[in-house]
Amino acid sequence: MKKMTAAALIAGLGFGGFAQTGPAKAAPMTLACDLVATTTRATRFIEADQFVFDLEDQSVSIRAAKTIGTEAPVDWLFTNRTDMFGEDHFVLSRRGSDIVGAGIYGSNPVAIRLRSDGALTWVFVDLEGTPQTMRWGCQK
């Protein structure tokens, strides 16, 4: 019987691309959060209770967990993209044990900081040009 290498066996089973995959991608970090303080009257943000941080994709998703998978999900994605409001630019990185991000979302500046103790602060400028702050307490 002829010996087969692992790569030949995998290719023979139809998984040819499987053996040549690149390095593993870090999984996004999903946090459950409770709103603790806000300066905004924008009620659509008050129901946000889940944050998904993805350092590799340079994105943060702010969402209401109970609406995900429904016909009307509440999910604000902060990332680099072009959408109906123009070009969004967002950078996310780790600074020590914190995760920080900043950018432009729908022509408005935004910044977010997740501290290692779970305190999350989101600062944005509303449509009237007034800075707004929201704070959550988060856990994995």
pLDDT at 24: 56
Query: Quick one: average pLDDT of 32-44?
Result: 85
Q: Higher confidence at residue 121 or residue 87?
A: 121
Average pLDDT, stretch 3-13?
Answer: 39
Render pLDDT for 92-130 as a digit per residue (tens, 0 to 9): 999 999 999 999 988 889 999 999 999 999 999 888 888
Half-sphere exposure of 123 (CA within 13 A, CB side): 8
Of 26 and 29, which is predicted with more confidence? Answer: 29
Set out the domains of the chain in order of their start, with CATH numbers.
24-139 (2.40.128)
Q: Say what the alpha-carbon torsion angle 41, 47, 32, 63 is, to the nearest 10 degrees.
A: -100
Report the alpha-carbon distance of residue 99 to residue 66 in Å, rounded. 25
- Cut 0.85: pTM above it: no
Of 31, 69, 66, the C-alpha closest to 52 is 31
User: Of 16-25, 34-43, 73-82, which range is least confident?
Assistant: 16-25
Look up residue 92 and give its two tokens: 């996310």
Q: What is the pLDDT of residue 4?
A: 41
Number of neighbouring beta carbons within 10 Å of residue 83? 11
